[in-house]
Structures are given as C-alpha cells and as structure tokens.
Structure 1
Amino acid sequence: MTTELLLKEAPGYFYHFSSKLPVGEFFEIRPRILPDNANPITDDESGMCIGYSVSQAPGLWRIYDAEGVLITLEEAPLESPFIDPLDITLLAAGVFRVLLAGRSFLQSGARTAITVRLSQSTVSLLRGRLKLGLSGRNLKMTETAAKHMYNPGRYVPLQLQEKAIRYGRRTPDPQRNPGLFLYRTEMYRLVENKQLKGTYFYKKYTLEILVREKDWTINHFQYFQR
C-alpha cells in the first residue's frame, strides 16, 4: 500500500485543543471588511483573534465578530468611573487581550496589548459566532496531524483552520489523491518583541490544510513565510 493511500485512508478523530502558543501570542485571519480603527480581541485559551472592538464613545465600544460583522455594543458598568476607551474593565467573564492599533498595527511596528474583561453575553456571542457553519467541533484530524497540534511551533487553532477551509483557496491535492483537497489562505501571528518586553509585532504566513472532504478530516497542515 502506498504512502499516499495510507494518508488518504487514515481514520479521523475528534479532538479538543488548547493554545500551545506563548502567553499573549495569537493567530488571526483578517476579515476583508473591517473599520480601520478596529482592535483585535484575543482569547488566550484558543490562541486566536475572536473579534474586534471599536471605540464609539468613552465607556462604549462596538463589538465585531471574527468575520468583521457588528454584533453588539459593549458598555462599561454604570458604577465604573468615566474611563478612557483604552482602560476597558468590564464584567468578569474571562481574560482577553485588546491590541491597541487596529490595522495600522501592520504598518507601524510594535504595540502594547492590554488585558481586559468582557461581559458574559459578549463572550458568548463571540464564541458562538465561531461555531457557525463547519465549526471546529465538526472537523476531524488524523493522529499524525493531531500530534502536530501539541507542538507550539506547529499549533493552529481548529476554529482558524475551519476559517481557512471555508474562505481559503481550494485546489486538488498536489499528490492527486482522490477526495483530498488543499486549502490555502493568509494568516497573521502576533509575536512578542524579545528586545522590548510587553510589545508585539505581526508576522504574515501562508496557511495550508490538506483535507479529506467526505468526512472533513484534516490530514496535514502547515504554515510558513514566503
């Protein structure tokens, strides 16, 4: 039996993964349409951008999902003092990070990430939006592919791989295995500046995922810089 046939027929299993990235680093597939002053909201547990915030007024933010769709307004609690939009401290519901430069982040170098707390309703909305369509929960992986998810240098959130499959460029498997297709998209990774602690910069990568579509099993994935 050939290597290609073994790859094609390898059984797929459901897995749950937590981020293996260093604390404060995350992945992002940027929506095509998003306000220029949108700041990524990141989730340390998954290691990915789960939405965006845009300051509308002191203590009030527009919240967009990971696709760039406006989903809600987030308001500081009434008992909180009148605060600057960069000093977000809301109802406790899990720790997230906001990057303080939006799209200009990509052109203007490192920026500082602040830790924030979002209301439970907003967190539920953001995470719920990630599960629409072919969600990360419905994707399987071969054992070989799953092993790579435990390597900090290979880990890519399943939800983000789903986004690549849903929106990426689809081509036949380069090895011409029937039923396997290669998906490719651009992806960003936030990396800490080792010379300036607490600041970060973006690195741009190409993400490739090899999928058996009959049961949506990921056979292989990788990301690299061109």
Structure 2
Amino acid sequence: MISGMTERQEPGRYYTFESRLPQGEFFELRPSHLPRNAKPVTDETSGMCIGYTVAQAPGLWQIYDVQGHFVRLEEVPLETPLIDPTDIALFAFGVFRILRTGRVLFESGARTAITARISQGTISLLRGRLKIGLHARNLKMTETAARHMLEPSRYVPLQIQERAIRFGKRMADPRKGEGMFRYETRMFKLRFNKQTMEYEYKQYTLEVVVRESDWTISHFKYTD
C-alpha cells in the first residue's frame, strides 16, 4: 500500500485513455436542469455521455451539451426510403451512440432498418464543450492511478474525473497528507438494454484524490 508521503511525492504524468468498459456501458454526470425527455448521446471511445438530444419531431432534435446547455437545433436526415406510422410514433424514443469507428448509430424501438445520423459538426461541438473549464488534458496522474485506468472495473473517463474536481464537494484529505484534497460527486453508470432499447441507470459516488500543487490525481474509485 502506498503511504501518504509517497503519494505526495510520486510524480504525475500526462496520459490519454480509451474506454475499458464493456460494450454498451457508459458513465454520466447528469445535469439537474435537462428537459425530462432528454436522451444521452454516448461515445464508445471515451465511455461517457457527451451530450443530449430532445426529439421535436421525427428527425428533428434539440441538442444539449454535457452540462445541459442548449447548443443547436438539428434536422437529422433519415437513412431509409420507407417510414410507416409506427416508426414515426416510436422515433422520438431512440438514442445516439458514437462508435469507435466514428460512425453514429441511432437505436430505437422502431424497425432496425431505420437509422439517423448526427452531423460530424455536432459531434465535434459536443466534444469541444467538454473542454470548458479545467480541461482534462491539464490533469496529470500518478503511475499507480494510471494503471487502474487499464482495469475495466476501475476505469472512469478522465473527463468525468475532471468534472468531479470542477463541480464536486471538496475536502482536505488528512489520510493523504498536506496538499492532498478529495472530491466527491454523484455519478451514473448507463447500461444499454437491447430488449427495451433504453439505458438503465445505476448511481455511484465517485471519489477523486488530487495533489492540487500540480493537479495530479493519485487515487480514484466509485462505490454504490
């Protein structure tokens, strides 16, 4: 076990990570002021929700960023020649998932032949809005913490940890020593259910320990 003195001294380095989560699992810090019928836009590469859509009509969506701010109205082209009334009725209940290949998949209770596509401009905009504030690229990690990011059961997107630091509850962590602070926030894990074509939510408490002198994360975990 690493002592508090070692954690205060262990150097931090910049890392980049891709999701280690099983397919169909994502993390989310859900804003409190979203419209009730908002659906997540999830990104397989990072393993997190990067924005939200609210259906106005078949193929017409309001787009919100990860903080719940409206960013644009987008008419999304439908990629099927035939749409029946049942499809139109169910189209509002689908969700968008950005695959590792860069392709965008729209999943809904409608016929599987129906797909829709968010523009690359909107995807870039949603990803870009993650950079507002203390950007995740400004955060370092100790080698010990970085190793945990390679474990599927421990992985938490660095952007989620950054938001925990930015918006979470801050407290000194005497266990880790002077200059070490613990941040806590509520977090959700989303699992996509292919039977209901909906996300199932489970709530966790995320804890991130940071050496604030150089913004180095030395420890993180999430618990029920």
Alignment TM class, shorter chain as reference? 0.7 to 0.9
Check the 8 A contact 2:192/2:198 in 1, yes or no.
Answer: yes
Please name the residue that 2:34 is paired with: 34
1:1-226 alignment, distance < 5 Å? 3-77=3-77, 84-86=91-93, 94-96=102-104, 117-175=117-175, 177-191=177-191, 200-225=199-224
Aligned partners of 1:181 and 1:131: how far apart in 2? 22
Q: Shift of residue 135 of structure 1?
A: 1.1
Aligned partners of 1:155 and 1:116: how far apart in 2? 30
Q: Shift of residue 100 of structure 1?
A: 6.7
Would the alpha carbon gap of residues 97 and 29 (structure 1) be closer, same or farther in structure 2, given more than 3 Å must change? farther
Check the 8 A contact 2:7/2:176 in 1, yes or no.
Answer: no
Amino acid at match of 2:157: P
Would the alpha carbon gap of residues 78 and 22 (structure 1) be closer, same or farther in structure 2, given more than 3 Å must change? closer
Amino acid at match of 1:180: M
SS state of the match for residue 205, structure 1?
strand
Amino acid at match of 1:33: H
Check the 8 A contact 1:44/1:96 in 2, yes or no.
Answer: no
Check the 8 A contact 2:95/2:106 in 1, yes or no.
Answer: no
Aligned partners of 1:66 and 1:99: how far apart in 2? 20
Would the alpha carbon gap of residues 97 and 6 (structure 1) be closer, same or farther in structure 2, given more than 3 Å must change? farther
Q: Shift of residue 72 of structure 1?
A: 0.9
Amino acid at match of 1:19: S
**Ranges in structure 1 where 5+ consecutive residues have no aligned partner:** 102-113
Residue by residue, what CA displacement relative to the aligned partner does 1:194-220 show, whole Å, maximum 9, x if unpaired?
A: 9x6976521110000000111110000
Amino acid at match of 1:190: L
Q: Shift of residue 77 of structure 1?
A: 3.1
* Identity fraction in percent: 56
SS state of the match for residue 31, structure 1?
coil
Residue by residue, what CA displacement relative to the aligned partner does 1:107-130 show, whole Å, maximum 9, x if unpaired?
A: xxxxxxx98632111011100000
**Ranges in structure 2 where 5+ consecutive residues have no aligned partner:** none
Q: Shift of residue 193 of structure 1?
A: 6.0
Check the 8 A contact 1:20/1:151 in 2, yes or no.
Answer: yes
Q: Shift of residue 11 of structure 1?
A: 0.4
Aligned partners of 2:108 and 2:36: how far apart in 1? 12
SS state of the match for residue 204, structure 1?
strand
SS state of the match for residue 34, structure 1?
coil
Would the alpha carbon gap of residues 53 and 10 (structure 1) be closer, same or farther in structure 2, given more than 3 Å must change? same
